[in-house]
Amino acid sequence: MPIETAGNPRRVARAPGKINLSMVTPKLKAWLVIAGVAIASLYATAIWHQGRRFNPPLSFVSAHGRIEAAEREIATQRAGRIGAVLVNEGDRVHAGQIVVRMDTQNFAAERRRAEARLGQVREDRRQVRALLSRREAEIKQARTAIPQRESDLAAAKKTFERAESSYKKELIAKQQFDQALTHLTTAEAALAQERAKELMLEALLRQAKIQIGQRDAMIDAMLANIQELKNEIADSALKSPIDGLVLSRLVDPGEVLAAGVKVLTFVELSEIYMTVFLSRSDAERVRVGAEARIILDAAPQDVLPAMVSSVTLGLADEPGEAENKGRQPEPPIGVRLKIVPEALEKQFVKINPGLTGLAHFRLDPNAPWPEHLSLKLPN
């Protein structure tokens, strides 16, 4: 029942717990509606989280990560000018593929000059060998003539001895004695000449052999020099050490570099991976060798197949807060994914270290992959 108030009999006090809606302004009504909706949303979210805690684990779990890779590089073997760079960043290369050619014009010209000198020395050696053959024939002829000269000398000595005995007995004239003496002297001179000729030819033969040895040494040195030039030219063709991707190209044709300057950096196709962190409950359901999927932020249309290569305890960069105050959160588990190399061979997107993406794990090996995670690699 309304109660009249003192001093204003027309104003009445309402019973507690009741609101006179006629006194509420439209603006206040709007704020009351918004507050009611917000309270209802918070209440529904709290109920959903409370119920989710008791739901069974999902078949899939996802986590963000960053592409990492084992890098390799090649550098100049020696100082020189870059002739050509045959690859660009992002290109796929094979082990042994020529990727950079150094300018080899100087080496090629020096090699041609060395080969020309080698030809001259070989011709010189051929001529000395021909001379050696003639000397050997002459020595053989001289050695054949010496026994004949010795025989002639022996006969001349006998003739002289008989002539000398007869001359002393005055059985022959002095003229006959002189003739026998002359014949003996001539035979001795002829034998001495043949023996001197033999010695001279033997000396010439030794000299020719020395000259041939010198030519052989020169030819060996020239061949070694030419081989070194060939190696210089071969080493000027820089080859990829691995099957992989060109990560960075650091030089351009025409640049003059010192020895040991890095020119290209590669990443190995077989060593491209991503590390993510999962909660212990999820990580315990991930097995090494299990399938996974990666979608890079730079190429959301492509799904990369991957394989779990290791599951190790580690700390994330930004660990989550504990659900309850005063309780330390469990450290997350580091899971490393290795991207399947065959997939990289077919991928059109450039897979570079540092790219971020989302890794998806199948906790239930019998659960089919969702449609958006199915593999659609180009043929």
The CATH code of the domain that includes 136 is: 1.10.287.620
Indicate if 114 and 225 belong to the same structural domain: yes
> For the residues 334-339, what does the mean pLDDT come to?
90
DSSP element (H, E) containing 272: strand 262-278
Query: Do the domain assignments include residue 154?
Result: yes
* Coil, strand or helix at 77: coil
pLDDT in tens, 142-200: 888 888 888 888 888 888 888 888 888 888 888 888 888 888 898 889 888 888 888 88
Indicate if 230 and 110 belong to the same structural domain: yes
Indicate if 129 and 225 belong to the same structural domain: yes
Q: What confidence category does residue 3 fall into, taking pLDDT thresholds of 50, 70 and 90?
A: very low
Q: In terms of pLDDT, which residue wins out, 19 or 178?
A: 178
Query: Do the domain assignments include residue 356?
Result: yes
Query: Do the domain assignments include residue 18?
Result: no
Query: What does the pLDDT read at residue 5?
Result: 40
Indicate if 65 and 157 belong to the same structural domain: no
Indicate if 218 and 300 belong to the same structural domain: no
pLDDT in tens, 225-274: 999 999 888 888 999 988 888 888 999 999 999 989 999 998 887 788 89
Please tell me the distance from the alpha carbon of residue 345 to that of residue 278, in angstroms, as a whole number: 29
Please tell me the distance from the alpha carbon of residue 350 to that of residue 378, in angstroms, as a whole number: 14
Query: What does the pLDDT read at residue 349?
Result: 54
Query: What does the pLDDT read at residue 17?
Result: 45
Number of domains in the chain: 2
Domain boundary pick from 189, 218, 234 = 234
Indicate if 195 and 293 belong to the same structural domain: no
Domain boundary pick from 190, 207, 234 = 234
Q: What confidence category does residue 12 fall into, taking pLDDT thresholds of 50, 70 and 90?
A: very low
Assess whether pLDDT exceeds 90 at residue 282.
no
Query: What does the pLDDT read at residue 27?
Result: 58
Indicate if 64 and 127 belong to the same structural domain: no
Query: What does the pLDDT read at residue 6?
Result: 41
Q: In terms of pLDDT, which residue wins out, 305 or 50?
A: 305
Indicate if 115 and 206 belong to the same structural domain: yes
- As a whole number, the mean pLDDT across the chain is 79
Domain boundary pick from 234, 258, 292 = 234
296 phi/psi in degrees, rounded to 5? -80, 145
Please tell me the distance from the alpha carbon of residue 215 to that of residue 223, in angstroms, as a whole number: 12
Query: What does the pLDDT read at residue 232?
Result: 85
Closest to 124 (Cα-Cα) out of 204, 201, 211, 203:
211
Indicate if 276 and 230 belong to the same structural domain: no
Query: What does the pLDDT read at residue 250?
Result: 92
Indicate if 179 and 62 belong to the same structural domain: no
Indicate if 64 and 126 belong to the same structural domain: no
CA 302 to chain centre: 29
The CATH number of the domain holding residue 357 is 2.40.30.170
368 phi/psi in degrees, rounded to 5? -70, 150
Query: By residue range, what is the domain housing residue 211?
Result: 105-234
- Token code pair at residue 33: 């509606």
Q: What percent of the chain has pLDDT over 70?
A: 77
> For the residues 293-308, what does the mean pLDDT come to?
89
Query: What does the pLDDT read at residue 37?
Result: 56
Half-sphere exposure of 280 (CA within 13 A, CB side): 6
pTM attached to this predicted model = 0.51
- Token code pair at residue 360: 């998806």
Assess whether pLDDT exceeds 50 at residue 363.
yes
DSSP element (H, E) containing 299: strand 299-313
Assess whether pLDDT exceeds 50 at residue 320.
no
Q: What confidence category does residue 7 fall into, taking pLDDT thresholds of 50, 70 and 90?
A: very low
Query: Do the domain assignments include residue 190?
Result: yes
Query: Do the domain assignments include residue 140?
Result: yes
* Coil, strand or helix at 340: coil
Query: Do the domain assignments include residue 89?
Result: no
